Amino acid sequence: MLPPESILPGQDEPPKFSHEGLPDESVVPGLPLKSTESEQPASPDLSPSDQAPLPGEGIVPNVEVVQEVALPEDPPWLRLNLGGPTAPVQTLCFSRDGTRLLAAGNDKMVHSWIAAAPQVGMPQRWIYETPVRWQVQRATRGDIHALAAMQEKFAFAGIGASALTGEIVLADQGRMAYERTLFDVEKGPRSQILDLTALPEGLFSLDSEGKVQYWSADPATGKWSFATGANPNETLKTDPAQLRSWRLRGSRMASSGDDTLIFPVPVRSEQGIPFWRIGRWKANDADATLVGAVTQEFPGGIGAMACSTNGSRLAAADISDSGTLVLADLTNPRGTTSIATGANVRSVCMPNNGSQVAAVVAKSPRGPFEIRLWNWPPDGPPQASGTLPLAATATDAAFSPDGKFLAVTQESAVVMYDMANLQTPVVLTTPIITPAKVAFTLDADYRIVIEPPATDGQPQTAIQFETAIGRYSVVQPPPPTIPSNPWQGTWSLKQKAVDRGTRLVFEIFEEDRPYCEIPPAILGNSRITSVCWLALEAERKTPSHVVIGTVGRNHAYLLDITNPQKVSVVREFRGHSSAIGSVGVSLDDRYLVTGSDDGLVNIWKLTEQQPSSPSQNHWGANFEIVDDQVVARNVIADGPLYYRGVRSGDVIQSLAQREDADPEAPFNENQRDEKTIDAAEAIVQTLAATTGDTMLRFQIARNGAKQKPFYLHPAWQPLASLVTTSDREWAYWTPYGYYDASFNGHKIFGWQINRGIDQAPDFFLAAELKEQLEKPRVMQRLLDAGSLSSAMQVAKATVPFNLHNRLEALASLRPQITIDSPTSDQALTDSQVLVEATIHIPAGSELISSKVFANGVPALEQLDEQVSVNQANHGHQHKLRWRVALPPDRRIRLDVIAATTDGISATESLTIAQPKWERSAPPRLFVIAAGISEYADQQIPQLDFAAENAKAFTNTLKQHAAQMEVETIVLTDANVTQPLWNVAADTLWQQLQSTARPQDVVLFFLSGHGIRDVESERYFFLTSDSRFTDVAGRRYERCISSDAFQAYFAGLPCRKIAILDTCHSGAIEPLRQDDLKVMLRNLEEDVILTITASEGDEEAFEERDKRLGRFTARLVEGLSGSADQREYAGNGDGQVSLNEVAQYVQATVPRDAAAVGQSQHPTIFPRDLFPLVDVPLTDSETN
């Protein structure tokens, strides 16, 4: 942790300002860099009179706002998919009807929750919906800083990912889908959008240049255009560039219901600090005025603002660290109250009627943070009503329109307060573990320890991830790790504020003596947030290098500090989208590990086995001039150029370097100048002189043939990335797309492909490419091998010739699915629905299967299919219709799945409300339970209670499912043979094939030994007459294949559930997670809901005192009523549902195991479907 910035001395000090705020455009990659001149104190100007009109521009003529803008490069971008924000939330708002909460921030998506139906005695639940994705680019490009709710729409903006950076996106609120992009390349915003505020049918925007614009649609044509408001820059006669940095620290607007905008206006400057007042602009008026009732001048900027719907009440606060909050009643000349907060006011909000005010305040940039509340009666001044402490960084808050709920950002979460009961807030968050500290353990096994943020009063725990075997475990206390600073107490990094607190300088100290300064040219406007000290020289007595993590650019840098007069960048690392809070190094100095607020743990190549040249450190290659051509030599595997497909022997024919464009000139991508360099000596000199801020376009030739040009910075991609969650899911992948993951881990990340500024991006999960990209054995060998290609060779996997664009190639082969009907904004009112979809199949591929599921229930039938040829790309277009019976759930997720001859699948999902969800008839429950304790072959380990598990489970269902029709088939010990299993399964299928209903349930319970065949990737359940020699010889004729479940029951239009208790001590093969994962992946194809007794590499222990397996004992207990109790997340409605019993065993079994020093964690699969389904299993005895 860096020390706090020093306090500047002085008696008459100007206001102090924190260094938090939006990033300057100068830290946005790809934009021209401008050096910022130091701000000189300006002569104070007289404030204009209260009603003096501000100079205005005329209304801009109607313009087309959908135009093509090219992006420099658009590879697939890695995106997390965890049902909520995975990086700090910057902004939030409620929909105008108060039924939906929207939040967005550094993960570059807009997240949405809808209010669930209230339950008596339970806090209001909020259900997560599908996010709206934005175009993304590196670092902060694509960050969202502003949200505004309109009538049935919402708008969002921030730092755009296109070359404009000022585009605004409109999305349909009901469908949670992209609608259109608002931009104009000539007169629209070209700098980042600081704030949006909306009217029911219109939208105001404010950019960092100070331009205020009003956007609205023509009622007749639907075409959007904008009017530019009074330019505040002309009120204060100063350089607009000098105001930009102040606006980035805080510049907010508000709007009332009468088409009036309330916005900040700079009126004078003192000692370089601008002072602002509140202006008012009526949409489409030529002039703006100052709000006469508020004469307060706000130093630095107005960082928080809100007003009531009728415009009579207003709240605003300055951006200083001891801010003043002004609460003004504009209908009362004496109704203005100024409150000295003694803190920085980060956000202020009020409900529609202005009866309450909430302000988020921070005592310092790092906290503590709190919410201060005021009640504001109709005929009196505001009265303080309370203070709520906040546990983490807060940036924004919003009241629901009726004032019943208050939402506050908390890092990557949203805390929802019910104003009638402030003591029990609901936290809307994801299970992602945001790393507070990352490090390697003190051994050569490349084990990574991830410590989450500390929780008050709780013992510190950590996640240990073993890269060599793909294992996740929780350890308490955290194991010893390699320290980030072995010279703690001798060498340190300190920061200090200079230039009246407007700039930070970072210095390295040896003891108390300054040793060197980190050059500002390296950091730009970034700040150092973490540091790791290294001695890469032979002596290792003092640090020779440091690695710094930053916020702003969010990059890490390996710096050589051996010469304090010439600190230089050795390697630059790019791959995080939020602040890097922790840095660590491996025991052998080969790898760097970083943890970021974006939730990622990245692993980087720090050094090579052979010393690297400066050229190799920057570009991952050496360069040699041969016959007047620049030839790449000694290309480092997985280095910057290797990642873009360059190999040793390739020729660099030319480079193109973008010239800095005039930021004030109209943007035209086609006219942007690029300086082409094709002389060999000049190419080598340019490569040597280029820093990480500059992007070059490479033209490569191989064997005389030109390759596709590409853009590249001299910066390294992660060798691998890791994400972990608190529910024990994880994913571990490379930039090329190859990965390993836990049971559900292949669904917590995927890739996004930008489709252009005027189209919604495409997103696909890793699960859709699992056959091609899920390579556990490769990933387990990655760090030992040192590169992906070497790991593939060691694992005897084929190395694709196009490794560098393998992911792009696979993505281009994906089927494209559009669900044409129904739409998400319509309610499902019948027991069945007609689903229509269009599936586009790329040329050269064929559609081999298409399926539709409604919360896991397959369609009743496919009605028809029409196939046509797409003339544009010669692919095929399939239009299909299905008839789908709907299960009795409140919300229905329709999944359309398509698979092709290339072995690639795609899924498109749509979630719709079902108002009439009550069951028309009680469900029927059909159970096949099999348990084997005694195997005929004594070479197969015998089990104690497997048969008893099957009996106890079925007896519990028959005893407690009083409201359901239950039929059971129980096979134990000698009766569990393949022929008898087939008879039982066939009997059940014959009964259900024509009578199955969506509310009916087919349930399999299996307790015994299971095994995976490595070559066929099939999973088998051993029968009582299985022979050890047959199984060892890969002969499974007597076993029951997991395929048999699907063969009999996959097509039945009802729920299917599998409960597996198959990981026992003494298994024929060592327990591996991959074994059980193979079965779950197979069951996933037909949406069979699964609960397992443990993770695949854990033993399923038995409880001798209960004469049952530990998992089954808790399962029976939960089904008997305990799972319905609210202390275990039950809803107390008198029934035990599948989701409740799953939560119960997941909570109790690990606790039981930990009490005796063991590890056992039941799992559910697919995890994302369980919260949606409402499957009653038993009646609770607790109610």
Q: How does pLDDT run across 591-650, given as a tens digit for each residue? A: 999 999 999 999 999 998 788 899 999 999 999 999 999 999 999 999 999 999 999 999
| Mean pLDDT across 374-402 | 94
d(CA 125, CA 786) in angstroms, rounded, equals 47
Cβ-contact 1021, 981 below 8 angstroms: no
d(CA 549, CA 556) in angstroms, rounded, equals 4
**Residue 125 carries which DSSP code?**
P
d(CA 795, CA 531) in angstroms, rounded, equals 35
Task: Dig out the tokens for 1022 from the structure.
Answer: 């051993």
Q: Any alpha helices (H) in 623-712, and if so which ranges?
A: 640-643, 680-689
Per-residue model confidence (pLDDT) at position 137? 84
Per-residue model confidence (pLDDT) at position 62? 28
Per-residue model confidence (pLDDT) at position 271? 83
Rg of the chain on CA atoms, in Å:
31
Cβ-contact 735, 715 below 8 angstroms: no
As a residue count, the chain comes to 1183
d(CA 574, CA 572) in angstroms, rounded, equals 7
- The Cβ of residue 365 has, within 10 Å, a number of other Cβ atoms equal to 16
Domain 816-913 coded CATH 2.60.40.3550: yes
State the pairing for strand pair 302-307/224-228.
unpaired
What percent of the chain has pLDDT above 70? 89
In sign, the C-alpha dihedral spanning 556, 799, 137, 776 is negative
Residue 391: name the closest of 410, 419, 365 by CA: 410
Per-residue model confidence (pLDDT) at position 500? 66
Task: Dig out the tokens for 26 from the structure.
Answer: 């100068």
Task: Dig out the tokens for 289 from the structure.
Answer: 């005025």
Residue 1044: name the closest of 1149, 930, 966 by CA: 930
Task: Dig out the tokens for 938 from the structure.
Answer: 């004594």
**Residue 21 carries which DSSP code?**
S
Residue type, 877: Q
Per-residue model confidence (pLDDT) at position 496? 87
**What is the Cα 520 distance to its own chain's centre?**
31
Least confident of 279-293, 441-455, 472-486, 1048-1062: 279-293
pLDDT over 60 at 1067, yes or no? no
Burial class (CB in 10 A: 0-12, 13-18, 19+), 882: buried
d(CA 255, CA 198) in angstroms, rounded, equals 7
Residue 716: name the closest of 512, 881, 547 by CA: 547
Task: Dig out the tokens for 34 from the structure.
Answer: 């401008």
H helix or E strand, kind and range, residue 971: strand 965-972
Winning range, highest mean pLDDT, from 45-59, 311-325, 1080-1094? 311-325
Q: What is the pLDDT of residues 214-269, one digit of tens each?
A: 898 888 888 888 887 655 444 544 556 667 777 877 788 898 877 889 999 888 88
- pTM, full prediction: 0.87
| Mean pLDDT across 796-822 | 89
Q: Residue 328, SS3?
A: strand
Q: Residue 43, SS3?
A: coil
User: 779 phi and psi, to 5 degrees?
Assistant: -65, -35
Cβ-contact 1130, 1124 below 8 angstroms: yes
Per-residue model confidence (pLDDT) at position 803? 85
Per-residue model confidence (pLDDT) at position 385? 95
3-state helix, strand, coil in the chain (%, to 5): 15, 40, 50
H helix or E strand, kind and range, residue 983: helix 978-992
User: 520 phi and psi, to 5 degrees?
Assistant: -55, -30
Task: Dig out the tokens for 619 from the structure.
Answer: 């570009």
**Residue 283 carries which DSSP code?**
T
Residue 925: name the closest of 1005, 1043, 1021, 979 by CA: 1005
d(CA 767, CA 741) in angstroms, rounded, equals 10
- Third-level CATH fold of 924-1104+1159-1167: Rossmann fold (3.40.50)
Q: Residue 557, SS3?
A: strand
**What is the Cα 893 distance to its own chain's centre?**
21
In sign, the C-alpha dihedral spanning 886, 887, 888, 893 is negative
Burial class (CB in 10 A: 0-12, 13-18, 19+), 398: buried
Cβ-contact 1069, 1032 below 8 angstroms: no
Task: Dig out the tokens for 9 from the structure.
Answer: 């001395």
Cα torsion through 47, 53, 58, 62, rounded to 10? 100
Burial class (CB in 10 A: 0-12, 13-18, 19+), 675: exposed
d(CA 107, CA 84) in angstroms, rounded, equals 10
pLDDT over 50 at 879, yes or no? yes
d(CA 1109, CA 402) in angstroms, rounded, equals 52
d(CA 639, CA 717) in angstroms, rounded, equals 7
Residue 1175: name the closest of 1066, 1093, 1090, 1104 by CA: 1090
Q: What is the pLDDT of residues 97-151, one digit of tens each?
A: 998 999 999 999 999 999 887 777 778 889 898 899 998 887 788 999 999 999 8
Return the domain boundaries, the chain. Answer: 87-228+392-429, 230-390, 437-607, 615-712, 735-812, 816-913, 924-1104+1159-1167
Task: State the angle between helix axes of 1073-1084 and 1042-1049 in degrees (0 to 180), rounded to the nearest 10.
Answer: 10
Q: What is the pLDDT of residues 1134-1178, one digit of tens each?
A: 889 999 999 999 999 999 999 999 999 999 989 888 888 888 999
Domain 230-390 coded CATH 2.130.10.10: yes
| Mean pLDDT across 722-751 | 95
Q: Which pLDDT band, with edges at 50, 70 and 90, does 22 fall under?
A: low
Residue 314: name the closest of 336, 334, 295 by CA: 336
Q: Which residue has the tokens 């602040």?
A: 579
Per-residue model confidence (pLDDT) at position 283? 73
Strand order in the sheet with 556-560: 527-534, 545-551, 556-560, 568-573
Q: Which pLDDT band, with edges at 50, 70 and 90, does 519 fall under?
A: very high
Task: State the angle between helix axes of 1138-1155 and 1110-1119 in degrees (0 to 180), rounded to the nearest 10.
Answer: 140
Strand order in the sheet with 1010-1013: 1010-1013, 1018-1021, 1040-1041
pLDDT over 80 at 352, yes or no? yes
Homologous superfamily of the 615-712 domain (CATH): PDZ domain (2.30.42.10)
Q: What is the pLDDT of residues 961-992, one digit of tens each?
A: 877 889 999 999 999 999 999 999 999 999 99
pLDDT over 70 at 338, yes or no? yes
pLDDT over 50 at 660, yes or no? no
Per-residue model confidence (pLDDT) at position 913? 84
| Mean pLDDT across 545-567 | 94
Q: Which pLDDT band, with edges at 50, 70 and 90, does 801 fall under?
A: confident
| Mean pLDDT across 537-551 | 87
DSSP string, 991-1002: HHTTT--TT-EE
Beta strands in 286-382 (DSSP E): 288-290, 298-299, 302-307, 313-318, 324-329, 336-340, 344-349, 356-362, 369-375
Cβ-contact 341, 317 below 8 angstroms: yes
The CATH code belonging to domain 87-228+392-429 is 2.130.10.10
Q: Which pLDDT band, with edges at 50, 70 and 90, does 823 fall under?
A: confident
The mean predicted confidence, pLDDT, of the chain is 86
Residues 903, 907, 913: CA angle, nearest 5 degrees: 160
pLDDT over 70 at 1104, yes or no? yes
Do 87-228+392-429 and 230-390 fold alike per CATH? yes
Which residues, other chains included, contact 877 with Cβ-Cβ below 8 Å and sequence gap of 6+?
A: 838, 839, 840, 841, 867, 868, 869, 870
d(CA 861, CA 873) in angstroms, rounded, equals 30
d(CA 289, CA 48) in angstroms, rounded, equals 10
pLDDT over 90 at 1048, yes or no? no
Q: Residue 921, SS3?
A: coil
Cβ-contact 472, 730 below 8 angstroms: yes
Residue type, 302: I
DSSP string, 182-241: E--TTTS--S-EEEEEE-SSEEEEEETT--EEEEEE-TTT--EEEEE---GGGTTTS-HH
User: 875 phi and psi, to 5 degrees?
Assistant: -85, -170
Per-residue model confidence (pLDDT) at position 220? 86
Q: Which residue has the tokens 């590879």?
A: 75
What percent of the chain has pLDDT above 90? 57
Q: What is the pLDDT of residues 754-787, one digit of tens each?
A: 888 888 899 999 999 999 999 999 999 999 999 9
Residue 837: name the closest of 826, 823, 825, 827 by CA: 823
Q: What is the pLDDT of residues 36-59, one digit of tens each?
A: 333 333 333 322 222 333 322 222
Q: What is the pLDDT of residues 436-463, one digit of tens each?
A: 999 999 999 999 999 998 877 677 899 9
Task: Dig out the tokens for 955 from the structure.
Answer: 């007896």
d(CA 144, CA 93) in angstroms, rounded, equals 13
